[in-house]
């Protein structure tokens, strides 16, 4: 059904989707360029990769939009960035997936394993996003995994029952989506869902212990923003300076991919 050869058609579709997402306010201009690169690599690895990436992106963007009004009221002070994803966020979420797509392309013999790793990476990122959205939408006070004290809604490393349930359901639904577009086999759905939960849990643990924590001296509030929305430069009160939200998200997808690969190689 292809009108153009795949090496042309794939990037063209990726650019069109990225442009639409930029116009809809889901991506910044830089984010749209990064998404075009990730999408092009995915489409060249095969249509299932491209289809899963688009399905995942639509799901994650819809979830981000659905609760935006609620969320901004609840977390405007805390989260580092708004709903418009920039290029760092796109690479943090889609970089490992793109690397797996590249592997599948360069080493066709490993393509099935690379597909499980790539799907697990995106499922981890999606489960993490949907955990935050569900937890925020449901309400209730999350608590910090590090201090066991109640934390502000949206704080990295904070968990709630609703958020954790949302994480598990999202992982299963997204793994099923990867199966529906024929990226993975039916027997791999459970592996990819479990690997996704593993990555999202790693994200929470890393967020709780090592992610940079910042404080706005004007508002006397904890935040992840370097420049608080009130205009004050925040100072770091804990965690590692270089380990921001994007780095943690990247690690989330890397752990997901590694867990998926490991579970494949365990004899069953
Ligand atoms: Zn402030």
Give the span between the Cα atoms of 205 and 143, in whole angstroms: 13
- Residue 209 is predicted with a pLDDT of 87
- Residue 72 is predicted with a pLDDT of 65
Containing H/E element for 236?
strand 235-238
- Residue 1 is predicted with a pLDDT of 45
pLDDT means per 10 residues, the chain with 268 residues, are 63 92 90 95 93 92 75 61 79 96 95 97 94 82 83 80 92 97 96 97 90 89 83 89 89 97 78
Contact 175, 193 (CB under 8 A): yes
Tell me how far the alpha carbon of residue 210 lies from the centroid of ligand 1, in angstroms. 22
| Every domain of the chain and the residues it spans | 6-212+241-265
pLDDT for 18-33, tens place per residue?
999 899 888 999 999 9
pLDDT for 139-150, tens place per residue?
778 888 888 888
Tell me how far the alpha carbon of residue 73 lies from the centroid of ligand 1, in angstroms. 15
- Residue 184 is predicted with a pLDDT of 97
Tell me how far the alpha carbon of residue 78 lies from the centroid of ligand 1, in angstroms. 10
Enter the pTM of the model: 0.87
Give DSSP secondary structure letters for 21-55: HHHTTSB-HHHHHHHHHHHHHHHHH-HHHHHHHHH
Tell me how far the alpha carbon of residue 230 lies from the centroid of ligand 1, in angstroms. 4
- Residue 265 is predicted with a pLDDT of 77
- Residue 67 is predicted with a pLDDT of 65
- Residue 46 is predicted with a pLDDT of 92
Tell me how far the alpha carbon of residue 204 lies from the centroid of ligand 1, in angstroms. 25
């Amino acid at each position: 059904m292809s009108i153009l050869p795949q090496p042309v058609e794939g990037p063209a579709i990726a650019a069109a989707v990225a442009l639409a997402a930029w116009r809809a306010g889901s991506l910044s201009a830089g984010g749209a360029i990064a998404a075009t690169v990730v999408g092009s690599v995915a489409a060249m690895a095969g249509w299932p990769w491209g289809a899963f990436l688009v399905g995942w992106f639509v799901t994650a963007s819809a979830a981000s939009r659905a609760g935006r009004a609620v969320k901004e009221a609840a977390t405007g002070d805390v989260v580092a960035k708004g709903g418009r994803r920039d290029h760092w966020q796109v690479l943090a979420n889609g970089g490992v997936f793109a690397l797996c797509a590249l592997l599948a392309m360069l080493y066709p013999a490993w393509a099935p394993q690379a597909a499980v790793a790539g799907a697990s990476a995106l499922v981890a990122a999606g489960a993490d996003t949907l955990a935050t959205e569900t937890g925020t939408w449901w309400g209730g006070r999350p608590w910090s995994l590090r201090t066991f004290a109640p934390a502000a809604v949206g704080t990295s490393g904070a968990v709630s029952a609703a958020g954790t349930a949302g994480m598990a359901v999202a992982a299963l639904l997204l793994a099923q989506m990867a199966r529906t577009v024929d990226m993975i086999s039916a027997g791999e759905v459970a592996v990819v869902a479990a690997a996704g939960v593993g990555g999202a849990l790693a994200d929470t643990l890393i967020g709780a212990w090592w992610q940079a924590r910042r404080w706005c001296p004007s508002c006397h509030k904890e935040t992840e923003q370097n420049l608080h929305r009130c205009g004050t430069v925040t100072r770091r009160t804990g965690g590692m300076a270089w380990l921001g939200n994007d780095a943690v998200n990247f690690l989330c997808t890397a752990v997901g991919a590694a867990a998926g690969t490991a579970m494949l190689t365990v004899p069953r």
